[in-house]
Structure 1
């Protein structure tokens, strides 16, 4: 197995990000908890304020000019209207849906929970954590932060349609967890479709009733009912949402590939006979051709493109990129852009940014790049390095 292939496998080692979040060996996590049962891990090293904390919350809300939907506000199980916490930003920034820090302070003081959404796009340390965890798990990861005043809860009992890792950052929060009423829900099967069953199950005996303190991590598979309440101080926790790939998603891609192939079948494009429709006969004909198309269909390329589109490559600084291009020397440090998911396939370097044609004389250099052996421009050659920099595949080291 090459190093390039190894990067596509789940990192079931204690050295990965997954190993830092759970207090069992990742192999045990995979066999006993992943997509099966909750797990509470105590006293994990989450990096303290270097990862996230109250200072980061204040900066994001008051100084970054964030707009909806990067924040929502919840109270007593309901989400408040955006107009209650947004306003224009003043001269030169008059867009009307920017966060109003005064309004948000009043909501927080009144017991509302603030939810900073898509935090992996607005706070670099959290974005890096999500990218590395996605690599370990093989599934896309995003992040929200929940800021809840003491003795308050933002949401009533519900389930999520994605797995979550809850990282308690500041304060403490009590979590009450019940068995699923609908195991392994798909993305279009929200808890609101089963509200009555959720409410009834939440009145039963909890499977987990625990308080998370700073450094504690809760893993919760999709479908498990949960509600959480802050304790004696403001609670800040991160929720890393794992957007699970399922066999149903693979089936969708397979059917779409088969349907695309049927577009080239003259019999399938033909107009149905004039007069009353012989439903049974037409269904039999279509089923026969669709079955054959499913047998021959190859959904892998489209599936791969869809998977790649759900995770972004590491940030690229345009000015740093330009400065590197303008002063390219043999000893200029360069590296493969992180989180690119780059592969060499049939003389093309595929990735999350753009297909890049690779000449026969460049294959060895590109393979060295993919296996981490490139350190400087001299390792690639000026022409190839320049083209890779322009394509956004290579970045300054």
Structure 2
């Protein structure tokens, strides 16, 4: 459920667990600007472990691209660690645990991708972190054998939080050669500069132990080597929205402006000095457009973009269907975590606006709906409704996967 951040201040438990410092300090001093290394305050073994790796590899039937392997900086062909699942599961890109063992024992690193979709504890933590940050996030695990380098020095085009789960890993971190890179500005476009910077004195050169957490803004150059045993770390990638994204939403209104739709001069020569006049006229028209654009329109577009890159908490279809068949009035129900929805009232209806549909209920249900957006309620005792009506509304919203049983 989208909700305002009153006064810009609220609890951010997942972020606080990662940084160990006040949110305001992190926001002002580190976010998007410089690394933060927090030494072990928490083991994070409730999120992930070596046993979790073995279960995912051996039991879950993972397929590419949810897994990849690399050796000394080079990504292995998928055939080196995948195969068919046999009768009834013949698809050939499934993880083969025996092949993974062979490659891992030979020094290859294993990368489990998209754990915010495949491992429940990480999925729940990531949903909270996304709510804390207001930016989408995803999680990979890197499992590295002793003294394996993994990947060459590089930078990412997204911010990351690194959580050391098991073993030790030495991280070497250098300042950017290209600040705040966008998604289409990868490190390979600056390969020589990255290699040169990686030979200079690092900003951070430290061995991470279990429970250590690193925040690294995008663009910061890094590489890592496991120390003396198998290393497991989580990398939480955060796709932070930028002012460039805001500008793109602003310029989306350019097609509504007749001055910006006006043709260039007849016989225009793009290489002649006279073309500067066309540029000046375009800048003037764009400046006037930007001054007219309503902030609410841009904010709504940014919110839709955010909602399109995040997923709400999953629902359990069979358990929910069984619950609907005999919903007890005392059952606690609440808004589905992370569900992008907005409530709108008119004269005779209350509307729940979802990304893919709008649910309309009688106006008498308005108080109940607004109360549900704030706190869990008893299914048979919703504000403003009698027992029968409360159960009707609760069943409808459980069936629509707007509410879940607590």
- Name 2:403's counterpart in structure 1: 394
1:41, 1:352 → 2: CA distance? 38
Task: For residue 329 of structure 1, report the CA deviation from its aligned partner.
Answer: 3.3
Name the structure 2 match of 1:364: 367
Partner of residue 181, structure 1: 177
1:270-289 counterparts in 2 under 5 A? 276=267
Q: 1:315 to 1:323 in 2, by over 3 A?
A: same
TM-score by length of 1: 0.89
Q: Any gaps of 5 or more consecutive residues in structure 1?
A: none
2:103 is aligned with 1:107: yes
Please identify, of 316-325 and 165-174, the stretch whose mean Cα deviation from structure 2 is larger: 316-325
> Is 2:25 the partner of 1:22?
no
Deviation at 1:292, TM superposition (A): 5.3
Contact 1:169 1:238 in 2 (8 A): yes
Shifted more, 123-132 versus 293-302: the winner is 293-302
Distance 1:164 1:60 in 2: 23
- Which residue number corresponds to residue 42 of structure 1? 39
Q: TM-score, normalised by structure 2?
A: 0.88
What's 1:68 paired with?
A: 64
Cα contact 1:10–1:136 (8 A) shared by 2: no
* Cα distance in 2 between the residues matched to 1:4 and 1:267: 36
Greater mean deviation of Cα atoms: 125-134 or 381-390:
381-390
State the alpha-carbon separation in 1 of the partners of residues 326 and 159 from structure 2: 46
- Tell me the distance in 1 between the aligned counterparts of 2:282 and 2:233: 52
Deviates more, 1:26-35 or 1:105-114: 26-35
Q: What does residue 132 of structure 1 align with?
A: 128
Distance in 2 between residues matched to 1:106 and 1:197, nearest whole Å: 36
Report the counterpart of residue 321 of structure 1 in structure 2: 320
CA drift of 1:309 comes to 1.1
Residue aligning to 1:253:
249
Q: Which residue of 2 aligns with 1:335?
A: 334
Mapped partners of 1:10, 1:199: distance in 2? 41
Q: CA deviation at 1:373?
A: 4.8
* Aligned match for 1:206, one of 196, 202, 205: 202
Residues 37, 220 of structure 1: 8 Å contact kept: yes
Once the two structures are superposed, residues 156-214 of structure 1 have per-residue CA deviations (whole angstroms, 9 ceiling, x without a partner) of 10011111111000000000000110111111111011000000000000110001101
SS in 1 for 2:160: strand
Query: Are the counterparts in 2 of residues 353 and 393 from structure 1 also a CA contact under 8 Å?
Result: no
**Correspondence for 1:52:** 48
SS at match of 1:166: strand
Task: Indicate conservation of the 8 Å contact 2:379/2:394, yes or no.
Answer: no
Aligned-pair Cα RMSD in Å: 2.6
- Find the residue that maps to 2:201 and give its secondary structure: coil
Distance 1:273 1:116 in 2: 52
- Counterpart for residue 153 of structure 1: 149
1-structure distance, mates of 2:31, 2:391: 46
| Runs of 5+ consecutive residues of structure 2 not aligned to the other structure | 384-389
